Amino acid sequence: MAIRHRNNSLFYRSERGALVGDIYMTILYTTELQRENPFHYLTELMRHEKAVTEDPVAWLPWNYRDTLARLLRDTPRTQDQLPPPVPPPALSRAPPAPPLTG
């Protein structure tokens, strides 16, 4: 991981880009060390952005699954909270295009 990151870091356009790349690489590698899926972890962080902002320590890679389970267990689900079904797109018949004249 470190060697791959070092090789990839040759192509950063700025120091800020390198810093962001370093942060993401650290998050991804730490998540992998905890035997978690980095994609799933980052997806859950974005889904629960407000909860992560309120308590970031509860959303670290080694304890985010417990927090997620607690959040889902404590949140009552009712039919009213489910999003309404999306209707299929209406099929409309557009008038035919005029013939091309040259």
Read off the pLDDT of residues 25-55 as tens digits, 9 standing for 90 and up.
Answer: 889 999 989 888 999 999 999 999 999 999 9
Residue 26's domain spans which residues? 2-74
| Alpha-carbon gap, residue 53 to 59, rounded angstroms | 9
46 found inside a domain: yes
Q: Is residue 14 helix, strand or coil?
A: coil
Q: Is residue 34 one of the residues assigned to a domain?
A: yes
Note the helical H segments in the chain. 2-8, 15-33, 38-47, 49-54, 64-74
Q: What is the pLDDT of residues 15-33, one digit of tens each?
A: 888 888 888 888 999 998 9
Residue 85 lies in a domain: no
Please count the structural domains in the chain: 1
Residue 100 vs residue 68, higher pLDDT: 68
Domain assignment of residue 50, yes or no: yes
Q: Are 18 and 9 in contact (CB under 8 A)?
A: yes
**Spatial distance between the Cα atoms of 64 and 85, rounded to a whole number of angstroms:** 30
pTM above 0.85, yes or no: no
Domain-located, residue 36: yes
- For range 71-89, the mean pLDDT: 62
- Residue 86 inside a domain? The answer is no
What percent of the chain is predicted at pLDDT more than 90? 28
Which residues neighbour 60 within 8 Å (Cβ) at sequence distance 6 or greater? none
